Amino acid sequence: MSFADLSNIHFSYLWAFLLLPLPLLFRLLLPPAPVSSSAALRIPFYQKIQAGIAPYKKSRSLSAIILATLAWIFLVTAAARPQLIGKTIHQPLAGRSLMMAVDISGSMQIRDMVISGRTVTRLAAVKAVASDFIEKREGDRIGLILFGSQAYLQAPLTFDRKTVATLLKEAELGLAGRETAIGDAIGLAVKRLRKEPEKNRVLILLTDGANTAGNVDPLKAADLAAQEKVKIYTIGVGADERIIQTPFGARRVSGNDLDEPTLKAITEKTKGRYFRARDVEGLLKIYKVLDKIEPLSKDDLSYRPVTELYPYPLAIALALSALIALLNSFSFNRARAARKEELV
In the sheet with 273-277, reading across from the earlier edge strand, the strands are 151-158, 141-147, 97-103, 202-207, 231-237, 273-277
pLDDT at site 89: 67
| Cβ–Cβ under 8 Å, residues 120 and 129 | no
Which residues have a Cβ under 8 Å from the Cβ of 94 and sit 6 or more positions away? Answer: 139, 296, 297, 298, 299
Domain ranges, ordered by start, for the chain: 3-25+45-86+306-343, 91-302
pLDDT at site 336: 62
If one counts every other C-beta atom within 10 angstroms of the C-beta of residue 245, the result is 8
CA–CA separation, 193 vs 97, rounded Å?
9
Q: Where are the beta strands (DSSP E) in the chain?
A: 9-11, 82-85, 89-95, 97-103, 111-115, 118-121, 141-147, 151-158, 202-207, 231-237, 241-246, 249-254, 273-277, 297-303, 306-308
Amino acid 239 reads A
If one counts every other C-beta atom within 10 angstroms of the C-beta of residue 235, the result is 25
Enter the DSSP assignment of 228: T
| Cβ–Cβ under 8 Å, residues 230 and 200 | no
pLDDT at site 248: 44
DSSP reduced 3-state for 235: strand
Which of the following CATH numbers is that of domain 91-302: 3.40.430.10, 3.40.50.150, 3.40.50.410, 3.40.440.10?
Answer: 3.40.50.410
Q: State the helix-helix crossing angle for 218-227 and 182-193, rounded to 10 degrees.
A: 20
Host H or E run for residue 196: none
Average pLDDT across each block of 10 residues of the chain; the chain has 344 residues. List them in order.
66 90 85 61 50 52 82 92 80 69 85 76 83 78 89 89 89 81 91 81 85 87 91 81 46 60 91 82 77 59 79 92 81 61 54
Beta bridge partners of 120: 113
pTM: 0.57
